Amino acid sequence: MEPDKQIRSSSGNRGGAGNVARPVESCRPGITSLSLALLAIIGSLGLAGAAGLANATQFNPPALDGYSLADEHDADGDGDGVKETHIQQYYNAAGDSIYSMTTNGHLWAWSLETKGESTSGPQNYVIRDSNCDGVFDEVYSLEDKYYLPDCVKN
């Protein structure tokens, strides 16, 4: 995880009922260095007690069922003043929202925020693909800041 982070997810990223940061079963048995690093990240976010999160090595994107695209805009994802990250924001009838973040054609993060829930835990999170392999392998609370991964930069 990069020490400096730019995009903030607490700008209204709310997601819906039934969307939970669900781990995807790893095809590699045992604990790997990635698993240990992810456990450290999750523990530092106070999410270790959330159902299934502490043992995950990858996370599923939130389901868009019941959501409608409400806004699209570009944002600065690395702090250089250039708005290179395309953000799509989806809302459901309850006011919950999901954001997707794409740079140079690579979707690298999803944010889910459930209205009325705390800003961390399985109903409120950001998942990030840290190395452009298509696996969302990092999880953040909604209060954390994060940069786009180096692999999507030109």
Q: Does position 134 have pLDDT exceeding 60, yes or no?
A: yes
Is the model's pLDDT at 109 over the cut of 80?
yes
**What per-residue confidence (pLDDT) applies to 119?**
59
Pairing of the two strands 124-128 and 145-146: unpaired
What residue ranges do the domains of the chain occupy? 7-152
* Mean pLDDT of the residues in the chain: 72
